[in-house]
Structure 1
Amino acid sequence: MEEILIISNYYPPEKGAAANRIEQLAQKLHHKNYQVSVLCPLGNYPKGQLFPEYKGKFSVTEQRENITVKRLWIYPSVSKNLLIRLLSVLSFSMSLFFYLLFEKTPKKIVVQSPPLLLSFISVFILSLKNKKIILNVSDLWPLAAIELNALKVNSLSHKFSLLLERYIYKNATVILGQSNEILTHIKSIFPEKQCFLYRNFPDHNISMNKIPLHFEISKNQPIKIFYAGLLGIAQGVYHMCQKIDLHGLNVELHLFGDGAERTQIEAFIFRQREQKIVFHGMMDRKALHETLASFDVAIVPLKTRIYGSVPSKIFEYTSLGFPILYFGGGEGGTIVEENNLGWVAEVGNFDELNLKIVEISKLTTGAINSIKNSVFETSKVTFNLSNQMDELIEIGVF
């Protein structure tokens, strides 16, 4: 059985899309007869505090569903203080640097990017050791940071990040990108680089009878739109809560997750109870999917259009039979429209978003179930992770 290592900044029991997609990759490689190990920090995300089982430990090696997980020391933080956040990044960076320098690693290694600094350290050491580096790019940094106003163009940090970006692209053996925009960007810098599309498709191993397609809704029960994921700056959920208009509609908005905007969102909901917004907090994936069984539509927002970004929630929730109300711009909107997965509103245009919600509010139970059935069938065929992995293995990516 061939060995392969995955280096990631996130891994379960941490929550969120980043941890889920890396676990998904690890599990699928295992099912394809690879001996998979993962290198990541001690669990701390999203609260920026070590989970109880990792407190007081410098490193931990554990088995999670046939995957060997090696966790290294980190000084965790989600502080808004730039110096403290930098210290947190540097702490794991140093742990990773010395581990890769002195410990034995497999010939093939998947490196997750971003974060840029961690992927740079990984690529730097692994290239010296002549490893096969499979760079998995899920977002374009520093470009995304510029679009989110987290970096200023031509600032020292921006120029430094550009150097790191070019280095990892140049020295990776092969590059996987979650969107065509990512591949186009990389090819514009290094035209000869081997690049392949790798969508973040889920694999729930679920059958049709587990999909909530034919549940009954009483006449007085509202249509339930839900958001489940990170409550961070990029998603703009707090701003969406302020701008969304559910007055007079047979619609509720339900929120699941945690992150930097959680306190603001909870305070807003407490003040604006007539808005029919319900906050449920963070749930583990299994419990969340069970809770969502009586829900109707998944909303996928982004604060601004981020070039290269395709939210994995599109694939996650269509695979469960939920149509998407997409509010993020870019390639994600194209995927929803071309595959008839739901509704698309122009990013940042809350008037259009509210019109789409009015349209959804007029749907009957039968119409909702028909849409859900169509979305599930499309997702099952079009967003097939096993087929995607088979194709990548066949052409020698892994």
Structure 2
Amino acid sequence: MKILCLCFYFKPDLSAGSFKNTALVDELARQVPEGSQIDVITTLPNRYSSFSVDAEEEEISGSVRIRRIGLPAHQSGMVDQSKSFATYATRVLRLTAKEDYDLIYASSSRLMMSILGGYVSWRKKRPFYLDIRDIFVDTIKDVLPGKITMFALPVFSRLEKWAVRRAARVNVVSDGFVPYFQKQFPGIELSGFTNGIDQIFLDAAPTGTTVPDKSELEVLYAGNMGEGQGLHHIIPPLAKRFEGRLRFRLVGGGGRLDQLKEEIRKAGCTNVILDEPVNRDELLKLYANADILFLHLNDYDAFKKVLPSKIFEYGALGKPLWAGVSGFSADFIRKNISNSAVFHPCDVDAADEALQTLEMKTERRSDFIERFSRARIIERMASEIIATGRDPVT
């Protein structure tokens, strides 16, 4: 069996897609029949412009061949992202032109990866397994200006329909996506393999209970700082309100980082520390020093459907979780994560009230860890992908 895996982000890059797809490819390599090949086409690390790490352009390990495509220097804007993806897609088509496969897998947080995977599958006349980590068509209604959306949305919707209908199997990482796909594609059968907790965070999970002994507690956010997270709306006024009581440490980068810095400056905050992205080993040290873990999504309707991967590593670490989310994410946190406090996004007063409900202690969340171990989830997903590759093309 020969499987093509199209993953824009892969190890050693820093992103939810990278962590998930790396674990998935490792599991596929464990499950595929002897003599199989897994061909990964990804990019050289590019998730954050401020984070760089060396990686081989081609790497072969056992049955896995990884080919990494270099991209032009870019920031996180939509134009730069489009140019980067065009470079990636062009190289993918060249690299796969003379190859044959039994199955095409694509992991898509942006629509065009779905299209690319569907096109390669159509060209090769082979089954297509589509893993959807975000609903691009739904999100752009909130993010892009109305005049652009009015013209672009019908085009993107038709492309989405083509890609999804091309897929032999579709997986969605959030159950919040299910109503959207059932409405757009009546009768569609969906899998629901979520993100999960990687082993590095399972190993770091607390074994007992600890209580911080500090006069000023540290609130940590680690991740992207773009329009989707909306940190520029919530952090400056929230940090100002809690000066002398809380110190906010924000680790990462993204398209709204400069605006976040400017809003912090305008608010006159003295208790916000901005750190560049770090690898996971360094991140674990930051987690260990933190007292409260912070999560936030912007106040857009589309984000009521998502389930951020960050929830899983936060939940495993046993720290109090302070989350400005709504919709499915809010329900998931309330149901599954003890000692968590949810507030409406961008609402400083609600955030203040939510904080008062948290117990300032770190303790093991055994049930959560048992249920959402990445290894357990990925094992079942890999098995389904391999079975899809054995089915006849429709």
TM-score after normalising by structure 2 = 0.85
Task: Tell me by how many angstroms 1:263 deviates.
Answer: 3.0
1:329-379 C-alpha deviation (Å, 9 max, x unpaired): 12111101112431111123221012222444xx45xxx13xx32xx2122
**1:318 maps onto 2:320 in alignment:** no
Which stretch has the larger CA shift, 17-26 or 251-260?
Answer: 17-26
In 2, the alpha carbon distance for the partners of 1:64 and 1:294 equals 36
1:111-167 C-alpha deviation (Å, 9 max, x unpaired): 112322232122112123122211000111111111223565762222211111001
Task: Tell me by how many angstroms 1:64 deviates.
Answer: 7.4
In 2, the alpha carbon distance for the partners of 1:328 and 1:93 equals 34
In 2, the alpha carbon distance for the partners of 1:200 and 1:181 equals 13
**1:177 maps onto 2:175 in alignment:** no
Paired position in structure 2 for 1:46: 48
In 2, the alpha carbon distance for the partners of 1:158 and 1:319 equals 38
SS of the aligned residue for 2:177 comes to helix
Q: Is the 8 A contact 1:299 1:325 kept in 2?
A: yes
Task: Tell me by how many angstroms 1:97 deviates.
Answer: 2.4
- Alignment CA distance shift 1:32-1:85 (3 Å): closer
- Alignment CA distance shift 1:93-1:250 (3 Å): same
Paired position in structure 2 for 1:93: 89
1:250-278 C-alpha deviation (Å, 9 max, x unpaired): 32221111112223334555665655222
Task: Tell me by how many angstroms 1:235 deviates.
Answer: 0.5
SS of the aligned residue for 2:199 comes to coil
**1:159 maps onto 2:158 in alignment:** no
1:78-124 C-alpha deviation (Å, 9 max, x unpaired): 27584x55433322222222323x13243122211232223212211
In 2, the alpha carbon distance for the partners of 1:73 and 1:93 equals 12
In 2, the alpha carbon distance for the partners of 1:213 and 1:70 equals 43
Paired position in structure 2 for 1:352: 350
Q: Is the 8 A contact 1:327 1:345 kept in 2?
A: yes
In 1, the alpha carbon distance for the partners of 2:110 and 2:137 equals 10
- Alignment CA distance shift 1:320-1:302 (3 Å): same
Correspondence 1:242-321 to 2 at 5 A = 242-245=236-239, 246-247=241-242, 250-269=245-264, 274-305=269-300, 306-321=303-318
Task: Tell me by how many angstroms 1:394 deviates.
Answer: 5.5
Paired position in structure 2 for 1:37: 39
**1:388 maps onto 2:384 in alignment:** no
Paired position in structure 2 for 1:237: 231
Q: Identity across aligned pairs (percent)?
A: 17
Paired position in structure 2 for 1:223: 217
Task: Tell me by how many angstroms 1:10 deviates.
Answer: 1.5
The unaligned stretches of length 5 or more in structure 1 are none
In 2, the alpha carbon distance for the partners of 1:259 and 1:74 equals 17
In 2, the alpha carbon distance for the partners of 1:24 and 1:384 equals 12
- Alignment CA distance shift 1:274-1:72 (3 Å): closer
Paired position in structure 2 for 1:14: 13
Task: Tell me by how many angstroms 1:397 deviates.
Answer: 5.1
In 2, the alpha carbon distance for the partners of 1:332 and 1:391 equals 23
- Alignment CA distance shift 1:45-1:320 (3 Å): same
SS of the aligned residue for 2:29 comes to helix
In 1, the alpha carbon distance for the partners of 2:74 and 2:50 equals 4
Task: Tell me by how many angstroms 1:212 deviates.
Answer: 7.3
SS of the aligned residue for 1:45 comes to coil
In 2, the alpha carbon distance for the partners of 1:153 and 1:176 equals 29
Which stretch has the larger CA shift, 33-42 or 278-287?
Answer: 33-42
- Alignment CA distance shift 1:132-1:322 (3 Å): farther
Q: Is the 8 A contact 1:311 1:332 kept in 2?
A: yes
The unaligned stretches of length 5 or more in structure 2 are 390-394
Write the letter of the residue equivalent to 2:181.
I
- Alignment CA distance shift 1:67-1:225 (3 Å): farther
Q: Following superposition, which runs of at least 4 residues in structure 1 exceed 6 angstroms of deviation?
A: none
Q: Is the 8 A contact 2:140 2:149 kept in 1?
A: no
Q: Is the 8 A contact 1:212 1:293 kept in 2?
A: no
TM-score after normalising by structure 1 = 0.84
1:125 to 114, 120, 124: 120
- Alignment CA distance shift 1:142-1:267 (3 Å): same
Write the letter of the residue equivalent to 1:387.
R
Q: Is the 8 A contact 1:40 1:72 kept in 2?
A: yes
1:226-253 C-alpha deviation (Å, 9 max, x unpaired): 1100111111112212221543663222
**1:146 maps onto 2:141 in alignment:** yes
SS of the aligned residue for 1:331 comes to helix
Answer 1 or 2: higher relative contact order, Cα 8 Å, separation at least 6. Answer: 2
